[in-house]
Amino acid sequence: MNNLNTTIDKVAMSEFDMHYYQLGDNEKQWCHDEMVNNPKWLDPFWKQPGYESETDKLCKELGIFNYKAGKPGELIINK
């Protein structure tokens, strides 16, 4: 199965209107070069200052402020 939500797939869709796995070797190499050299792909929106994920927004709305503070698998309950 091909992951269609990767940066390199977004480059392929933006430049070729095709998913990365559908491209030939030359186009794949072009996408790779574009991804590692173009600031558009090096600094995506989710790495920008002030970006808040949907999970962060939902947890803030629900009053869950320390959901990232626990160990994996640990249940954190606000008191």
Domains in the chain: how many in total?
Answer: 1
Q: In this structure, is residue 29 part of a structural domain?
A: yes
User: Per the domain annotation, does 69 fall within a domain?
Assistant: no
pLDDT digits (tens, 9 = 90+) for 20-77: 999 999 999 999 999 999 888 877 777 777 888 888 888 888 887 676 666 655 555 6
Q: Is 18 domain-assigned?
A: yes
Find the domain containing 39 and state its range: 7-51
pLDDT, one tens digit per residue, over 57-71 is: 888 888 876 766 666
What CA dihedral angle connects 18, 24, 28 and 31, to 10 degrees?
-50
